[in-house]
């Protein structure tokens, strides 16, 4: 028999970026009780907090779900590792720490898709600034005093400075800020760090809230099923519904448990686990559920569909007459110098995000003329993450297709929620994406041929200069393409009469009362850039809508100055829950 964990006003499934924000904002009201369930453990692994430690967190069962994709035809039959955070803070505890919002048109497109102007760029900008603590101070685009630390990086590399100059010579302008709605340009990325340490959602949002008596946080709690009760009429504004989500079932400490939700269950398990939980609980395509013997609670054919991700093409170039991390870290004295610099100054290679220099560029394919390529440039090269750096000096120019038209899926293969779902991103499955990939390789070659890089005599190592024709470039893209870890869209929001929508503009699951999805899975289309901070913004808006009772425009709730950051002040309970 399942153990009853208790009744709560809100039950949040997943302590990733969205879940941490929701837990903070909802528990700020002392009259409500909140339960936050996280399948992973505490964020007390030291490599989470040292920026370069992502190398030791990805593909580590302590912090990563370690998913795999199905064999991808567009990647020449390869299957990819698909990292997802499995720890307090979720993927914000293992990601590249890049602070990026995307483009104005991304959000205006969401507003059009949902019929809700509250998702437009002008409406969501206050949601970004509310939680922000930006190094440049408060202005029309940024906020200060919030929980989400945004800092400049604490290092420069000669080879990256030269790449930036070469990009300018190729027609990509220098920029001081990627986050004003048009990210076309080249610059060093801003990062979510503080004092040379990673700043995760767990640090920024969960740790301050953890000491509140009305917030209960459980780690090692793997949600296995959503619980429903029949209902004759739906919640105000949501239309009639056949069922109401009244709680969740989960496995914790080796036993089956359940918790009831008096008001709502908030599913924030991410673009992989949220559709998985909906399907195992009976919400999804009826035919798919029937094949697995799962009774249908609500037929929604869009569950698990619309998967989008940014494919990166990792091009690497050997260089001469300049030091890169490849050779700097190859000798014991180099490693010692790197370690001492970080220990005393919190700077140098150990403080660096996986990618330091960024650029947004035009492939020439996009009919709207928007930047559709994003560069992540690194002073290193390796065959794949987890393998040693090359023995020669080199840099990597990873170029991402940030407005892909390929669509994939995430679907369960078992009624057991402990069995990983099938993840099929379907990369490079459209002529558009294959054409953009070819143009991306050609543009990268033009940048590298620029005068600013000439003193370093770059020689293309991957994919290699032998690939020249369109067909050869498509083959090359399939050989070097890999995920940059930005899956979204699998529970997409839309108008309530859209047969492919899973949630409405207020993120309520269509046809079910008491259940919302609040994470990256609700994006109708992927943002044109890194997806972590947009996910944080989605949670901010969801919390505002919940607190407003869905009765008026939630942006009114964030019209004032950003809230200050609460410090844990050595609180024993908070430290025990989210120690670093």
Exposed e or buried b per residue across 434-462, where buried means at least 16 C-beta atoms within 10 angstroms of its C-beta:
bbbbbbbbebbbebbebebbeebebebbb
Q: Is there a contact between 165 and 150 (Cβ–Cβ < 8 Å)? A: no
Distance CA 385, CA 59 (A): 9
DSSP 30-92: TTS-EEEEESSB-S--HHHHSGGGHHHHTT-TTTB--EEBPPBGGGTTB--EE--B-BTTGGG
DSSP 336-401: HHHHHHHHHHS-SGGG--S--EEEEE--S--TT----EEEEEES--BSSTTSPBPSS-EEEEEEEE
Distance CA 436, CA 266 (A): 37
Structure tokens at 486: 């930005």
Distance CA 548, CA 579 (A): 32
Please say if 486 is a catalytic residue. yes
Exposed e or buried b per residue across 122-152, where buried means at least 16 C-beta atoms within 10 angstroms of its C-beta:
ebbbbbbbbbbbbeeeeeebbbbebbbbbbe
Distance CA 15, CA 215 (A): 13
- Report H helices in 263-305: 270-280, 286-291
Distance CA 41, CA 371 (A): 39
Exactly one of 142, 390, 486, 506 is catalytic; name it: 486
Cβ count within 10 A of residue 254: 6
Beta-carbon contacts of residue 150 (< 8 Å; ≥ 6 apart): 99, 132, 133, 134, 135, 142, 190, 191, 192
- Taking the CA atoms of residue 555, residue 559, residue 562 and residue 566 in that order, the dihedral angle to the nearest 10 degrees is -70
Q: Find where tokens 């069995």 sit.
A: 419
Phi, psi angle pair for 375, to nearest 5°: -95, 135
Distance CA 528, CA 182 (A): 10
Q: Is there a contact between 426 and 74 (Cβ–Cβ < 8 Å)? A: yes
Phi, psi angle pair for 108, to nearest 5°: -60, -35
In whole angstroms, how large is the CA radius of gyration of the chain? 23
Distance CA 481, CA 454 (A): 26
Catalytic residues: 486
């Amino acid at each position: 028999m399942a153990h009853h964990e208790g009744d709560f006003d809100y039950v949040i499934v997943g302590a990733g970026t969205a879940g941490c924000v929701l837990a903070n904002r909802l528990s700020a009201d002392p009259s409500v009780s909140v339960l936050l369930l996280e399948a992973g453990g505490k964020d007390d692994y030291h490599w989470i907090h040292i920026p370069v430690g992502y190398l030791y967190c990805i593909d580590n069962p302590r912090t990563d779900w370690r998913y795999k994709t199905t064999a991808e035809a567009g990647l020449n039959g390869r299957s990819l590792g698909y990292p997802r955070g499995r720890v307090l803070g979720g993927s914000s505890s293992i990601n590249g720490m890049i602070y990026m919002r995307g483009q104005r048109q991304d959000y205006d497109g969401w507003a059009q898709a949902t019929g809700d102007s509250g998702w437009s760029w002008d409406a969501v900008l206050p949601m970004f600034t509310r939680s922000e603590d930006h190094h440049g101070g408060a202005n029309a685009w940024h906020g200060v005093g919030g929980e989400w630390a945004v800092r400049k990086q604490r290092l420069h590399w000669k080879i990256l400075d030269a790449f930036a100059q070469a990009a300018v010579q190729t027609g990509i302008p220098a920029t001081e800020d990627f986050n004003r709605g048009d990210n076309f340009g080249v610059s060093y990325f801003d990062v979510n760090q503080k004092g040379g340490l990673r700043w995760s959602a767990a640090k920024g949002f969960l740790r301050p809230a953890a000491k509140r008596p009305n917030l209960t946080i459980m780690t090692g709690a793997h949600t296995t099923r959503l619980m429903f009760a029949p209902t004759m009429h739906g919640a105000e504004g949501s239309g009639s519904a056949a069922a109401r989500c009244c709680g969740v079932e989960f496995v914790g400490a080796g036993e089956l448990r359940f918790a009831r939700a008096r008001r709502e269950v908030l599913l924030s398990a991410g673009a992989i686990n949220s559709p998985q939980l909906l399907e195992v609980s009976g919400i999804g395509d009826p035919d798919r559920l029937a094949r697995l013997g799962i009774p249908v609670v609500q037929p929604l054919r869009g569950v698990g569909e619309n998967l989008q991700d940014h494919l990166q093409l990792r091009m690497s170039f050997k260089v001469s007459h300049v030091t890169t991390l490849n050779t700097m870290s190859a000798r014991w004295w180099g490693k010692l110098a790197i370690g001492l610099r970080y220990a005393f100054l919190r700077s140098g290679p150990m403080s660096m995000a996986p990618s330091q220099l960024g650029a947004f560029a035009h492939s020439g394919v996009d009919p709207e003329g928007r930047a559709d390529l994003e560069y992540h440039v690194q002073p290193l090269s390796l065959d794949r993450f987890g393998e040693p750096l090359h023995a020669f000096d080199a840099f990597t120019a990873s170029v991402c297709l940030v407005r892909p038209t390929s669509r994939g899926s995430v679907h369960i293969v078992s009624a057991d929620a402990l069995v990983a779902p099938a993840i099929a991103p379907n990369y490079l499955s459209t002529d558009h994406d294959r054409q953009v990939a070819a143009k991306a390789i050609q543009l990268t070659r033009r940048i590298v041929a620029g005068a600013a890089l000439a003193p370093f005599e770059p020689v293309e190592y991957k994919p290699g200069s032998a690939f020249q024709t369109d067909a050869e470039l498509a083959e090359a893209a399939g050989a070097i393409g890999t995920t940059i870890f930005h899956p979204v869209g699998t529970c997409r929001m839309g108008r309530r009469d859209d047969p492919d929508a899973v949630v409405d503009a207020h993120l309520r699951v269509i046809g079910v009362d008491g259940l919302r999805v609040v994470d990256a899975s609700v994006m109708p289309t992927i943002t044109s850039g890194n997806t972590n901070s947009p996910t944080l913004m989605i949670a901010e808006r969801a919390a505002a809508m919940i607190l407003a009772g869905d009765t008026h425009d939630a942006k009114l709730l964030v019209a004032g100055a950003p809230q200050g950051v609460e410090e844990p002040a050595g609180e024993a309970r908070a430290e025990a829950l989210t120690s670093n």
